[in-house]
């Protein structure tokens, strides 16, 4: 499997997880269901297009996933889980966790863009970072109810849209 396809599948999987986990209250029930179904359909489209196009691209070695990538991922996990621990210690509302995750995942894409020599990867990175920051600002303003939508559902939609664009361009 080409490394770019693996990256797109991972991104689409996480985008779907963001939507599935966060498309609840305060959204109306029907809207949450529609968003969840749309996310799963987008994931399915990435898989279908990816494997259809991946067969033409050949295997390739996953050169993207070298030591620099490993360092970025280790730092990402440390920041996510360390940050959530700090937020818990500060008695931050639980909704802030998804904002923190979106912020760190976004920064991870921004950092990977020059490592992978794929500047387009920075676009969803900047958008996710912004959605994470927006959620943190919402928490500071005591507007926590909509953080899962802003930092979770919209971040998932950004990931899924980026993966759909990426897989159809291959």
pLDDT digits (tens, 9 = 90+) for 66-111: 888 889 999 999 999 999 999 999 999 999 999 999 999 999 999 9
Residue closest to 49 by CA, chosen among 158, 169, 133: 169
Q: How many residues does the chain have?
A: 170
Q: What pTM does this model have?
A: 0.90
pLDDT higher than 90, residue 19: yes
């Amino acid at each position: 499997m080409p490394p770019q396809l693996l990256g797109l599948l991972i991104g689409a999987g996480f985008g779907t997880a963001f939507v599935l986990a966060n498309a609840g209250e305060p959204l109306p029930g029907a809207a949450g269901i529609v968003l969840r179904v749309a996310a799963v359909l987008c994931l399915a489209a990435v898989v279908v297009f990816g494997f259809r196009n991946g067969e033409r691209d050949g295997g390739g070695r996953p050169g993207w996933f070298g030591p620099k990538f490993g360092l970025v991922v280790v730092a990402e996990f440390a920041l996510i889980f360390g940050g959530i621990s700090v937020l818990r210690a500060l008695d931050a509302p639980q909704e802030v966790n998804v904002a923190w995750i979106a912020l760190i995942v976004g920064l991870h894409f921004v950092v990977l863009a020059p490592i992978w020599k794929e500047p387009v990867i920075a676009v969803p990175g900047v958008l996710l970072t912004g959605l994470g920051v927006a959620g943190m600002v919402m928490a500071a303003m005591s507007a926590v109810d909509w953080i899962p939508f802003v930092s979770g559902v919209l971040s998932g939609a950004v990931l899924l849209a980026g993966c759909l664009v990426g897989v159809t361009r291959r």
